[in-house]
Amino acid sequence: MGVGSVGSTLAPYDESNTYMSTDAGLTWTMVHEGPYLYEFGDSGSIIVVVDDEQVTDTILYSTDMGQTWYVLAISVFYIYIYL
């Protein structure tokens, strides 16, 4: 997974999208508009993403290599992820 853009030059981070490759980077598919933080769990059997630009109360996750994304509402009011 990665955050980037399509074109001859790299767009600014806040104008980039989140992409995923399942063939070691040969091809890329956009999985979400905008930049998202991402993490792989359980040896890659779950992918978790969260909006990197806005305060949010949801987490998105996939258990089928990004083909289907599910929304998980967080029980706390809001969460902001810092790196």
**What tens digit of pLDDT does each residue of 30-60 get?**
999 999 999 998 888 899 999 988 888 889 9
- State residue 76's pLDDT score: 64
Over 70: is that where the pLDDT of 79 sits? no
Planar angle of CA 25, 32, 3, nearest 5 degrees: 50
Domain boundaries, the chain: 2-73
pLDDT of residue 23 exceeding 60: yes
What confidence tier does 17 reach under pLDDT thresholds 50, 70, 90? very high
Please report the pLDDT score of residue 54 as a whole number.
87
Residue 43's φ and ψ, nearest 5 degrees, are 60, 30
- The distance of Cα 63 from the centroid of its chain, to the nearest Å, equals 13
pLDDT bracket for residue 61 (50, 70, 90): very high
